[in-house]
Amino acid sequence: MISGPSGAGKSSIVREVLARTDAFFSVSVTTRPPRPGEVDGSDYRFVDRPTFEKMIADGQLLEWAEVFGQYYGTPAEPVLQALAAGRTVILQIDVQGGRQVHRKMPQAAFVWVRPPGDAELRRRLTGRGTESPEALRRRLQTAQQENRAAKASGVYTHIVINDELNRAVQQVVEILTREQNPI
Ligand code: ADP
Ligand code: 5GP
């Protein structure tokens, strides 16, 4: 489980971890519109609200939450299948989802990704250029709240500071390796 404020670098880290390991990435379902370059079915499965609400009602989601006014959720079946096949599964989800997964799968590794500081977070989110000014403000304002919620949840036992990307990726790979081979 990888969580952290928007712009902390979760997607960048996960992309590299997937290139270096044979971990399985859980593709979330969302009602948020795709960003330029995002591919339906590989970054997210993009659906409308009625479709998402039907997935909730049908019990298809391992967890779900409303984040920044949009639904996000983890389809249960692919995750369970990958785990049954012995794969390491990566979920890149928010704190609310983290708490739900912790209740169901406390044995998972819970990683909180932090940017090196507030100014750098602002620089990264602005530099990514994917949010409207209003969405950008909302994401930056929520970052502090998310940090507090993550601490209060007691779920995240690993903290990775994404200062230098390569070092952060290495840390996450080490966490995965250690959790798979605890002795
Ligand atoms: P998240 O998935 O947490 O929202 P992203 O992975 O999209 O964050 O990263 C936000 C922006 O910061 C992107 O433009 C990305 O290229 C950049 N970025 C990520 N990690 C680093 C880093 N260690 N140093 C500098 N820029 C970074
Ligand atoms: P973004 O819109 O930047 O891709 O994601 C916004 C937030 O939603 C991030 O914190 C991301 O981790 C979270 N998120 C993405 N997928 C899921 C999911 O399936 N479930 C939950 N609970 N959060 C998710």
Domains contained in the chain, CATH given: 2-180 (3.40.50.300)
pLDDT of residue 141: 92
Q: Is 3 in the pocket of ligand 1 (CB under 6 A)?
A: no
Q: Ligand 2, from 40, 72, 89, 104: best to mutate by most atoms within 8 Å of Cβ? A: 72
| Burial status of residue 8 (CB atoms within 10 A of its CB: 0-12, 13-18, 19 or more) | buried
pLDDT of residue 180: 79
Nearest residue (by CA) to ligand 1, atom 11, is 124
Query: Taking a C-beta distance cutoff of 8 angstroms, is the pair 4, 114 a contact?
Result: yes
Q: Is 65 in the pocket of ligand 2 (CB under 6 A)?
A: yes
Tokens 């704190």 found at? 95
pLDDT of residue 78: 98
pLDDT string in tens for the chain (183-residue length): 999 999 999 999 999 999 999 999 999 999 999 999 999 999 999 999 999 999 999 999 999 999 999 999 999 999 999 999 999 999 999 999 999 999 999 999 999 999 999 999 999 999 999 999 999 999 999 999 999 999 999 999 999 999 999 999 999 999 999 987 766
Residue 102 CB-half CA count within 13 A: 18
Give phi and psi for 47, each to the nearest 5: -135, 170
Is pTM, for the whole model, over 0.85? yes
Distance 50 CA to ligand 1 centre (A): 32
Give phi and psi for 63, each to the nearest 5: -160, 160
**DSSP bridge partners of 160:** 113
Distance 181 CA to ligand 2 centre (A): 28
